Amino acid sequence: MCNSKQPLISIIVCVYNTEKYIAKCLKSICAQTYANIEIIVVNDGSTDKTAMIINEWQEKDERIVLVQQENKGLAVARNVGLDISRGEYIGFVDADDYIEKDMFQILYDAILQSDCMLSMCAYRIMDANGKRFPKNIENPKSQIYDVEKFFFTAIADRMYYGMCVCAWNKLYKKSLFDGLRYPIEKLYEDNWIIHKLIYKAKSVVFIDKELYYYRRTDNSIMHCAFSLKRFDNYFAQVDRIAFFEKNHASRNLIDAWKVDCVKFGISYWFQMKDSKCATKEEEKEYYTAVKNSIQDFVKLCPIPLRMKGIIFLKMPHLFFLLHCAKQN
């Protein structure tokens, strides 16, 4: 039964050709112990049996709201869900993932107890068949993060980074999205907005429980062959640094992200060259973009990375040859 005294949570699920997984996803959401939810499913132009499966679940649970649209991408679908949501709180679940039955109750209780506007939990990665990967890093302990500590944690390890920046392991006060929406026509849309949400929230409460199960499929962005759209992820980080500077973050935090940006930009440039996915003109364009964004950051780097950055800036072709030789 729905506890009407609890505020409504809008859970947004964006789907595109997920007939293999959508039933398990919806089953896990419908089974939430926090009952006062609306489940907004945005079908982003699926061409398989996804819509039929959603309709079947809609007949079982009146809390499911189905929105049909032409294929416009994840950012548009999420924004549509946000625009029509009625809840005081917002959550996201990807259509090929599933969640523990008490996830949103735990995240809501954490917000109440901490007086934060945003809560998040740990997650577990599984393969396309649902087999869980072994953990290669310990989760942080349950705690409240201020803005600075949150982003220092995010940069400490790429596993922490994913947990911090993704949209789907969190519960948000809806007002955090006032004036904010996901950027259209960019990959890694989470990366472009999370720092703005965190700054508005001022603090985040983290729960050291794996309540979300993230499915890593062959179609996952990071598992696909390298493409130039991957640079959206890099440029989101450049944008984040500019945001930190505009909002007077500490010099230590800004410099830490600048150093990471050097590693990140050089790595992506090498992957682009190695994958041969770009024309000569595109290679030059992206080299110039990375060079312009990191040339003032290199001096902040420890000596080995600084030397690497200098070679990249001055002699990119030599850098590529040296890197290839090292790989071989």
Q: Which residues, 6 or more positions from 248, have their beta carbon under 8 angstroms from its beta carbon?
A: none
Residue 57's alpha-carbon distances to 19, 20, 119, 190, 305, in angstroms, are 13, 14, 28, 28, 53
The whole-number pLDDT of residue 320 equals: 74
Instruction: Please give the Cα distance from 231 to 66 (Å, whole number).
Output: 33
The whole-number pLDDT of residue 235 equals: 95
Both 195 and 277 in a single domain? no
Residue 283's alpha-carbon distances to 56, 188, 227, 230, 268, in angstroms, are 48, 21, 12, 14, 11
Q: How confident is the model at residue 162 (pLDDT cuts 50, 70, 90)?
A: confident
Both 218 and 274 in a single domain? no
Q: Note the pLDDT tens digit of each residue in 273-310.
A: 889 999 999 999 999 999 999 999 999 999 999 999 99
What mean pLDDT is predicted for residues 151-175? 89
The whole-number pLDDT of residue 16 equals: 97
Domain final residue pick, 206, 222, 238: 222
3-class SS string, 53-72:
HHHHHHHHCCCEEEEEECCC
What mean pLDDT is predicted for residues 69-76? 96
Return the structure tokens found at 297.
């950051």
Return the structure tokens found at 78.
């999420």
Instruction: Please give the Cα distance from 24 to 316 (Å, whole number).
Output: 48
Amino acid at 253: L
For residue 26, being part of any structural domain is answered with: yes
* Calculated CA dihedral for residues 46, 52, 54, 60, nearest 10 degrees: 180
For residue 67, being part of any structural domain is answered with: yes
Both 113 and 234 in a single domain? no
Instruction: Please give the Cα distance from 34 to 186 (Å, whole number).
Output: 33
The angle at the Cα of 24, spanning 18 to 25, to the nearest 5 degrees, equals: 70
Instruction: Please give the Cα distance from 33 to 306 (Å, whole number).
Output: 52
Both 189 and 266 in a single domain? no
Of 130-144, 174-188, 214-228, 280-294, the range with the lowest mean pLDDT is: 214-228
Range of the domain at 77: 9-222
For residue 274, being part of any structural domain is answered with: yes
* 25 and 54 Cβ atoms separated by less than 8 Å: no
The whole-number pLDDT of residue 23 equals: 98
Domain final residue pick, 222, 246, 281: 222
Both 249 and 295 in a single domain? yes
Both 141 and 87 in a single domain? yes
Q: Note the pLDDT tens digit of each residue in 108-125.
A: 999 999 999 999 999 999
Whether 137 shows a pLDDT value over 90: the answer reads no
Rg (CA), the chain: 21
The whole-number pLDDT of residue 175 equals: 98
Query: What CATH number is associated with residue 103?
Result: 3.90.550.10
* 54 and 22 Cβ atoms separated by less than 8 Å: yes
Domain final residue pick, 222, 237, 269: 222
Whether 223 shows a pLDDT value over 60: the answer reads no
For residue 4, being part of any structural domain is answered with: no
> Is the backbone of residue 288 left (phi > 0), alpha (psi -120 to 50) or beta?
alpha
Instruction: Give burial (CB, 10 Å; 0-12/13-18/19+) of 164.
Output: buried
3 state DSSP class of 218: coil
Both 177 and 283 in a single domain? no
For residue 260, being part of any structural domain is answered with: yes
For residue 3, being part of any structural domain is answered with: no
Both 212 and 237 in a single domain? no
For residue 71, being part of any structural domain is answered with: yes
Both 105 and 144 in a single domain? yes
For residue 1, being part of any structural domain is answered with: no
Name the pTM for this structure. Answer: 0.92
Average pLDDT of every residue of the chain: 92
Both 52 and 157 in a single domain? yes
The whole-number pLDDT of residue 318 equals: 79
Instruction: Please give the Cα distance from 163 to 135 (Å, whole number).
Output: 13
What mean pLDDT is predicted for residues 231-254? 96
Instruction: Please give the Cα distance from 240 to 230 (Å, whole number).
Output: 16
Provide the H-helix boundaries in the chain.
22-30, 50-60, 74-84, 103-114, 147-156, 158-165, 189-201, 231-246, 251-275, 280-294, 303-314, 316-327
Instruction: Please give the Cα distance from 45 to 67 (Å, whole number).
Output: 10
What mean pLDDT is predicted for residues 231-235? 94
How many domains does the structure of the chain reveal?
2
Whether 218 shows a pLDDT value over 80: the answer reads no
Residue 200: name the closest of 175, 225, 231 by CA. Answer: 175
